[in-house]
Chain A
Amino acid sequence: MIELLTNPDKFFEAKMGEEVSLKIPALIVLIIGIISGIGAYFMGGLTAEMLSGTLPPEAQGFLSFIPISTAITAVIVSFIIWVVFAAIFFGISYTFKGEGKFKRTLEFVGYGYIPMIISGIIGAIFIYYIVSTAHIPVVTDPAKMAGAFEPLMKSPMMQLSYAISILFMLWSANIWVFGLKHARNLTTKNALIAVAIPVAAYVLWTIYQMGVM
């Protein structure tokens, strides 16, 4: 597995000689989903506290489901994003006359998620720190939730968290380049382009969320 991080080209070249298996990639995505779920749990708790003023006393019990449901959603979304990224890579590589099954692309994209485990852990720690030190107002109008969250999303801690996630995303993208190269039998240049387009879009969107743009 270390070879995946240090020399992904060789790792995927070796993997091409094996049967396609989604067990390990799915496990990797699951781990990322759980870590994301922990961060989402904290944010869900924050949201529940803010909404506590909008619900009548008899409906306050509903608020306790918000953190749990947010965490479960984060796990499910992790798998969806995995499939979506693989599909985008597969689609773009199609223009470069790429060859190979989608399942192999899905497998290699899953392996590429490994660096994001580290960024997920760091992100969860950051979110915990932010939530535990934040002033949490009681929002009386649910429509004002986005406005209430705005300062939090633009706080220095959150921006640092974004920067870290971008760094690890670039690391994952580097792995995906070599993964796609072998999964779709592309040149390194074409694989780089196929990966760079969606990743660049993702990075730009993240930077936009940071409020830099």
Chain B
Amino acid sequence: MRKTIHSLIFLFLFVAFAVSSVSTVSSVTGEQKSSVMITGYQVNPEVPMCNDLGTVTVTVKNMEPKSVNINEVQMLSQGIKVLSDSYFNPGSLGPGGALSLTFTIKATCPDGIYYPKVIVNGEGAQSIRYSFPVTVDSSPLTIGVKDVPEDIFRGERAKIELVVGNSRPNNVTAVKIVTEDKDVMPSEVFLGTLSADDSEVATFYFTPQVKGDCVLNFKLQFKNGDNYHYTDLSVPLNVTESKKRAELILTGIEVESMPGMNVYKITGDINNAGLEAANSVVMKVGDAEGIEAMQPYKAYFVGLLNADDFSSFELNVKVEGNETQVPLIIEYKDEDGILSSEHEYISIESTQKIVSTGELPVPMIAVVIVIAIVVIGMIAYSWKKR
């Protein structure tokens, strides 16, 4: 009987404890309804490339009708390097209130999909862990030659078209192509934003000044987020002489000395032996030590010189020292207005002597004749008088 009584007392106590425990748990569960959650995230750049710096912005929202104090928000990742610190006590979220927090990240290699975690600890609220995907893709933009003339001629403008393609899954910005070649115009083409799987064409004009093999170097530059990336393109070309372009040659060159110290007058004909006209032909004395162009013909404007046509010219130059070569520059424009220039050298070696004008004034000849008559007359007269 006593055993039975003890059993009943133990059972009572157990039931009472159990009821008490259930009541306590019910009370605590009622307080844990204050809860927060991650309602969104944003990665910038959307798809970073290897070693790109970027940001992740997460939005924390209070889902309960009462305020929740946030103790800590931190971001953890094994694949993505988180550069910024955790947020401690970022503040209290009112009922339905939201908070955006930004973390700086650095995309690591290799390419792939990484899952960083955001952990939010709130006072009197559940701790939450939220993972989201970040894709790292290092595919660069592609640049290639879309169109280039088969034949490129010296002094003639050639149109070169380059195409830029975006094979990346996200947009890139500030896309531009730059070249440092002085014979290429323009030196830079700005394309701006290039959407994913889109392409743009950039046009350059190349006017080579020398013939032979040459390589044009272009640099493609773009931004993925705030990160600059570059891609180089080399275009090998072969420049030849045009079969039709104006071909200016000098003939009948004469070098005459002029009164004064080492001043020469260079005259001759300039001929167009090509099949195209040369516009705005100007002849100048080139720069060289000891060579100085002189007035009145420091330069000579020939103007339009049609095919198989010629024109005379005159230049004045002062030569000092032992210079025996005078450089001449012939500038002209083609029908597109492209300026071309040719260089010629005129030898003045044969005139390194005293040269008088060589002209005999007619009055002086008359005076001499008169003198001769007078002298002969005087001699004859003296013999007659003796």
- Asked if A and B are interacting partners, one says yes
Which of B262, B356, B357 has a CB less than 8 Å from the CB of A138?
B262
A134 touches B355 (CB 8 A): yes
Task: Assess the B320–A138 pair: CB atoms within 8 A.
Answer: yes
Q: In the complex, are the beta carbons of B378 and A137 less than 8 A apart? A: no
Q: Which of B157-165, B228-236, B308-316, B365-373 contacts A (4 or more CB under 8 A)?
A: B365-373
CB distance from A198 to the nearest CB of B (A): 18
Complex Cα distance, B261 from A148, in Å, reads 14
Smallest CB separation, A50 vs chain B (Å): 7
A160 within 8 A of B: yes
| B257 contacts partner chain A, Cβ-Cβ < 8 Å | yes
- The reply to whether the CB of B360 lies closer than 8 angstroms to some CB of chain A is yes
- Cα of A150 to Cα of B356 in the assembled complex, Å: 11
Tell whether B352 is near chain A: CB-to-CB under 8 Å. Answer: yes
- Among B124-147, those with CB < 8 Å from A are none
- A137/B262 in contact, CB under 8 A: yes
| Among candidates B351, B367, B375, residue contacting A168 with C-beta atoms closer than 8 Å | B375
Do residues B360 and A151 form an inter-chain contact, with CB atoms below 8 A? no
Knowing A10-B385, A132-B259, the reply to whether A137 touches B368 (Cβ < 8 A) is: no
Contact of B322 among A49, A134, A140, A151 (CB under 8 A): A140
Is B56 interfacial (CB-CB < 8 Å)?
Answer: no
Interface stretch (choices A1-9, A23-31, A92-100): A1-9
B382, A134: Cβ atoms under 8 Å?
Answer: no
Chain A residues whose CB sits within 8 angstroms of the CB of B378 once the complex forms = 5-6, 171, 174
Closest Cβ neighbor of B348 among chain A residues:
A137
For chain A, the bracket of interface size reads 35 or more
A49 to B364, CA, bound (A): 27
Asked whether B371 lies within 8 Å of A155 as measured between CB atoms, the reply is no
Contacting residues, chain A, for B365 (C-beta < 8 A)? 160
What's the dominant secondary structure at chain B's contact region? Answer: mixed
Contacts of B320 in A (CB 8 A): 138
Cα distance, A136 to B351, chains bound together (Å): 10
A167 within 8 A of B: yes
Question: Which single residue of chain A is at the shortest CB-CB distance from B357?
Answer: A133
Chain A residues 94 to 152 lying within 8 A of chain B, measured CB to CB, are 115, 118, 122, 126, 130, 132-140, 147-152
Tell me, rounded to whole Å, the shortest Cβ–Cβ distance linking B308 to chain A.
Answer: 36
Contact A130–B356 (Cβ < 8 Å): yes
| Nearest Cβ on chain A to B325's Cβ, whole angstroms | 15
Q: Is B359 an interface residue (CB 8 A)?
A: yes
Q: Is B263 an interface residue (CB 8 A)?
A: yes
Pairwise interchain contact B375-A160, C-beta atoms closer than 8 A: no
B353–chain A nearest beta-carbon distance, Å: 5
In the complex, how many angstroms separate the beta carbon of B292 from the nearest chain A beta carbon? 14
Bound together, the chains give a CA A138 to CA B322 distance in angstroms of: 8
What's the nearest-Cβ distance from chain B to residue A21, in Å?
23
Which residue of the partner chain A has the closest CB to B381?
A6
22 contacts between A and B (CB under 8 A): A6-B378, A6-B381, A7-B385, A9-B382, A9-B385, A9-B386, A53-B321, A122-B371, A135-B260, A135-B263, A135-B351, A137-B351, A137-B353, A150-B353, A151-B355, A152-B353, A160-B364, A160-B368, A164-B368, A167-B371, A171-B379, A174-B378
Using A133-B356, A133-B357, A160-B360 as known contacts, list a sample of 20 further A-B pairs with CB atoms less than 8 Å apart, ordered by residue number in A: A7-B381, A10-B385, A10-B386, A53-B321, A134-B257, A134-B259, A134-B357, A135-B258, A135-B262, A135-B356, A137-B352, A138-B261, A151-B354, A152-B355, A157-B360, A158-B356, A164-B371, A167-B375, A171-B375, A171-B379
